[in-house]
Structure 1
C-alpha cells in the first residue's frame, strides 16, 4: 500500500470511529439547539491548532449563527513560527493558569449557554480551565479530544485533571497516540496527523443535526450559502441577516457583563418597561 492509500484508509477508520458516536453527536446537537433557541450562544474554544475546529463551526459557508468563536490570537497565531508572536510563546501561554478566567471575564455567561472545547491531548491548562469555568456557570460542556492520545498524555495542571474531567460529553476524533498516522521507511518519526480529519467531521455532524433540530422547532437557521446555490440576491440576504443575528446574540453577552453602569441599568429598565 502506498502512503496516500494508507492515509486514506486510516481516515476511513476515523470515520468508523465517529459513526459509532452517533448518539453522542445527537446529545451535543440537542444541547446546542436548546441554547440557540433560547437566544443564547454556544461558546467554542480551542487553543493551538484546535482553533481550526472553532472556525470550521462558524463562520463559514454552510454554517449559521448561534455560536461564539473564542479565538485568542496569542494562543493560536502560528504563521510567524519564531520571533515575535511565535509558536514558543503560544505553547507557553496555553499553560498559564488564570488566562481562561481573564478571557471569560469579557462575557456575561448564562446557564442557558453551552460550550464546545477542543483539545486533542486534553492536557493543556487553558482549555481545561475553560471547561471548568463553563461548568461552574451551569453550562453543558462538550469536549472534543483524541481519546487514545489524551489517555497517554500527562496533564499540565498540578492536580492532574484533564479536559475530560470537566466535560458532560466527550467526543473522540479517532486519531492515534501522537496524532500522526503514517510511518515512512527510514524515518523514525511518524507524519500526517489525523485529528483534524476527525474533528472536522465531528463538528459538521453536530452542525447538521443542530440545523435539523432548529428547523423542526420552527426556527430554521440562516445559513451562509453560495450565490451559485441560492442565487446572488438571497446569498447576500442570508449573509447580512446571519451576521446581524450573530451581533444580536453577542450583544447579550456584553450587555450586563461585569460591573454595572448607568448604561446597563438603562437597558434593564427599558426591558422591564417592554415586558
Structure 2
C-alpha cells in the first residue's frame, strides 16, 4: 500500500476509534434510548439518506445482523410507490428539492411511535431538512448523523434556513472534515472521503447498542439472519410479519 493509502488508513481508523470511545463513554446513549423506546412501543426505525448517505440507511435497514423493525426511506419511493415519473430520479438536484418531501412522507406512512434516523454529511439539503421537519411536526423524534465541521460552514438550502443538526433531537457527528476529503494531493485536489465509512460504523454501533439494551430488558432482539444461510429466510419473514406492511423491502 502506498504512503497515501497508509495516511488514509490513519485518517479512517483514528475517527473510528474516536467514535468507539464516544460510544463507550455513553455518547450514543441518547440516540439508543430513542430507538429502544420506539421499538418497545411497537414503532419502527425510519432510516433516510440521500446521495452517498443512502448507504447509511441501507446499513440500518434490511441487512444481516441488523434490526428487523426498520424501513429504508429513499427518494426513489416517490417513483416506485408515488405519483412521480421515474424521470425525476435522473435529476441530481432532487435531494435539494423541499417540495418532494410531502409525497415522500405520505408514502412512508410513519406511525406515531416511529423514530427517524437521518444521515446527511452536509445536513442542509431541502429533502433532508424537510423530512426532519415533517417528522418533528408529527411528533416523531429525529436522530441526525452529520458532519458538524461541514454543516456549520455551508448555507442551508431549505426555505426554513435550518440545518438538520438544528432540527434533530439528537445529533451524532460523523467526524468527516469540511468537503469530506481527508487527504490532499500536491495540486490541492482532495481525496480520501471518509463520511461513508464513519456513518456505517455509527450505524453498527447504534444497532449493537439497541440490541444489547433490548436483551438487558429481557426480550430477544429482533435481528436479521443472513438470507444466505439455512433457515434465514424463514426466521426473517416470521419476524417481519409482526410488523404487517410497515416494513418495505424491495430490490
Match of 2:103 in 1: 102
Following superposition, the deviation at residue 11 of structure 1 comes to: 0.9
Following superposition, the deviation at residue 250 of structure 1 comes to: 4.8
Aligned residues: 237
Question: 8 Å contact 2:75–2:95 — kept in the other structure?
Answer: no
Question: 8 Å contact 2:121–2:147 — kept in the other structure?
Answer: yes
Following superposition, the deviation at residue 68 of structure 1 comes to: 1.1
Question: 8 Å contact 2:47–2:117 — kept in the other structure?
Answer: yes
Runs of 4+ in structure 1 deviating by more than 4 angstroms, as ranges, are 84-87
Match of 2:43 in 1: 40
- For the pair 1:69 / 2:63, whether they are aligned, the reply is no
Q: TM-score when scaled to structure 1?
A: 0.78
Q: TM-score when scaled to structure 2?
A: 0.85
Match of 1:248 in 2: 242
- Aligned mates of 1:106, 1:248 — CA distance in 2: 20
Following superposition, the deviation at residue 239 of structure 1 comes to: 3.2
Match of 1:271 in 2: none
Match of 2:34 in 1: 31
Q: Helix, strand or coil: the match of 1:111?
A: coil
Following superposition, the deviation at residue 245 of structure 1 comes to: 2.7
Indicate the larger mover: 7-16 or 161-170.
Answer: 7-16
Distance 1:107 1:2, change over 3 A: closer
Distance 1:199 1:250, change over 3 A: farther
Unaligned residue ranges in structure 2 (runs of 5+): 79-86
- Aligned mates of 2:141, 2:77 — CA distance in 1: 26
- Aligned mates of 1:39, 1:172 — CA distance in 2: 28
Match of 2:84 in 1: none
Of the candidates 35, 50, 55, which is equivalent to residue 52 of structure 1? 55
- Aligned mates of 1:220, 1:15 — CA distance in 2: 28
Following superposition, the deviation at residue 113 of structure 1 comes to: 1.3
Match runs of 1:42-191 below 5 Å: 42-73=45-76, 89=91, 91-185=92-186, 187-191=187-191
Unaligned residue ranges in structure 1 (runs of 5+): 76-83, 255-275
Following superposition, the deviation at residue 124 of structure 1 comes to: 0.2
- Aligned mates of 2:55, 2:227 — CA distance in 1: 25
Question: 8 Å contact 2:174–2:198 — kept in the other structure?
Answer: yes
Following superposition, the deviation at residue 101 of structure 1 comes to: 1.5
- For the pair 1:196 / 2:196, whether they are aligned, the reply is yes
Distance 1:106 1:247, change over 3 A: farther
